[in-house]
Amino acid sequence: MNLLPGFIVPNIHFFGLSIDRMTIRAVELSPQGAVRTYAEVAIDENTFADATLVKKESFIQALKALVSQGRFSTTYVSVCFPEAYAYTREHSVPDMEKEDIDEAVAWKVKDLFPLPEDDIYYDWKRLDAKDGQVHIGVVGIQKKTLDSLVDAIIASGLKPLRFEPDASAVARLIGLKPQQYGLVTEVNKRSASVTLVEGEKSLFTTVVTYGKTDTPVAFLENITASLEDIAKYYTNKGMLRKDNTKVIVTGEIGSREWADYMAKRVAYPIQILSTPVGNSAYNKAYASAAETMSPPQDDSSINLMPRDVQEIYDESWRISYVQSLALRSLIGLLIICAIPFVVLVSVLMQKEKLAKESAVLQSVIKSQDASIGQVTILNGKLESLLALAPLKKTPASHLAQLAALTPTGIHISQLEYDDSKQLYTISGTSSDRTTLLAFRNALESSKKFTKIVLPLSSLESEANSDFSMSFVGVSSL
C-alpha cells in the first residue's frame, strides 16, 4: 500500500477464492494457519465466454451463496483465476531501483503481450539477478476479463485484495526453486489443464475440455497425451531432466490411481498435491489463502489488482488510520486526566475503610467477651469453608474428558460454559454424519455428561456438516 506499507495490510484477515469453469471454491485459514472453513458452489459452464464474465448476476448470486455456506469471518478475499486467462512473459532489465524497473517494463509491455497496452493490466516480480541483469516475470490480463470479475466480486459484498493466475498460486504452494520444473496437471470433471512452471512462474499452459462425445476414458487419455507432448517438447529442448522435474497432480478427480497410470507413460516423478483441507479440489483456494498478502507495488509477487481499486482501499485505510489514531489519543488523554481522580477516590475509600476498622477495634476492646464469641464464630465459619474448598468444581475435568471422547473427524470451533447450570454448548464441523453420531453416543455413555441435545438439523448433511450440541456436566462428590 502507499500508506504505511507493512503495517496496515498484514492486519487484514482474508480468505482464498478460486474461480474455475464450473465451480467456485473458497478456503479460510485461522491466524495460526489451520483450516477454519471452506465451501464450494457450482456455476453454469457458460458463465464465462472468451475469458470474460457474461452471466454477471448469476455469478454474483453464486458468490453470495458461497459466503453464506462458508460462514467466512471476513469480507476480504484473495482471488485466483484460470491460468488460461492470463499471459506470462519473461524479461530482463539492468539491475536498478524498483521505480526504474517499473518504467522500463511500462515501455516494454506493448512488445510483451499481443494486445494494446491500454487493454491490459500487468504486474511483474523479480525472479533472479545475475551479471548486473534482473530477470523478471511479467503477467498480463485483459482489462475486460479482470474488470468484469472485480465488479461482480465487489457487487457481492466482498473486497478483493489480490488477483493472480491459479498456476502461480499452486507453484508457490509447491515451493519449486529457480531451474526446477513442475508439470502441474489439474484434472476436473469437465475440463483439465497442464501447466509447465519453473520456480513460481508459468511457462506454458494447455487446456483439455471434456467434449460432448468424449467418454471418461477418452478424456483422461487426452490429458495424458497432452502431458506427454509437453514433457517431450521441453525435454528435447534440454530444459527438463529427471533430477529437476516432477509432475504435480491436483484438481477434483486427480487420484493416485490415475497418477499410477500416468507413471507408465511419463518419465518423471509424480506427486499428488495435498493440503490440510484434505480435498484436492480446494488446492488452488488454499494456495490463495495461505500466502501473505502483498500490494500491487510489491516487486516480489504478482498482484493484478487494478490500481484504481487499490487507490480506493488506500484512501479508506488512510481515513481509518487517522480515525484510529485520533480515538487512541483521546482515550490516552482521558486516562491521564482520570488518574488524579482515581487516586483521590482510592484515598477516600481507604480512609473510610480505616475508619471502619478502627471503630470495630474500639468496639472489640470495649467488649472482650463479645469479641471472644465473635472470634469463635469466625473460626467455625473458617473451618466450614476449609472443608468445602476441596469440593469446589471447575470445568477442567469435564474439558479433559470431552477432549478424550472427541473422535477424529470432529473439529470443535467454539465452546461455551454456563457455570451456574454446568451447561456446555459446543459447535464445529464433522467429517460425516456417522462420526457425529458416534461422538454423541460416546458422550451419552460417559458418566461425566448428561442431558445431551443434538439438533436434527446437524444431521441433515452426509459429510462436512456444521453442528451444535449441548450437554450438562455431572458433578461427583
Query: How do strand 76-81 and strand 410-418 relate by DSSP bridges?
Result: unpaired
pLDDT of 317 over the 80 cut: no
Looking from the CA of 321 toward its CB, the CA atoms found within 13 Å total: 15
Residue type, 149: L
Range with the poorest average pLDDT among 281-285, 298-302, 327-331, 461-465: 327-331
Q: Which of 397, 469, 395, 400 is nearest to 429 (CA)?
A: 469
Q: Which three cell numbers stand for residue 414?
A: 467454539
What's the rounded Cα separation, in Å, for the pair 269 and 54? 40
Range with the poorest average pLDDT among 53-67, 275-289, 290-304: 290-304
**Strand (E) or helix (H) holding 329:** helix 307-366
Percent of the chain at pLDDT exceeding 70: 88
Q: Is 259 strand, coil or helix?
A: helix
Domain ranges of the chain: 9-305, 320-390, 396-473
pLDDT of 372 over the 60 cut: no
Query: Which one is the CATH code of 9-305: 3.30.565.10, 3.30.530.20, 3.20.20.150, 3.30.420.380?
Result: 3.30.420.380
What's the rounded Cα separation, in Å, for the pair 347 and 245? 76
Residue with cell 512462474: 201
Fold match between domain 9-305 and domain 396-473: no
Q: Are 44 and 69 within 8 A, CB to CB? A: no
- Give residue-wise pLDDT tens across range 75-103: 999 999 998 898 888 888 888 888 888 88
What's the rounded Cα separation, in Å, for the pair 28 and 30? 7
Q: Which of the four pLDDT bands, split at 50, 70 and 90, describes residue 350?
A: confident
What's the rounded Cα separation, in Å, for the pair 178 and 189? 32
- Give residue-wise pLDDT tens across range 128-159: 888 888 888 899 999 999 999 999 999 999 99
Q: What angle do CA 405, 406, 407 make, to 5 degrees?
A: 110
What's the rounded Cα separation, in Å, for the pair 153 and 133? 39
CATH class of 396-473: alpha beta
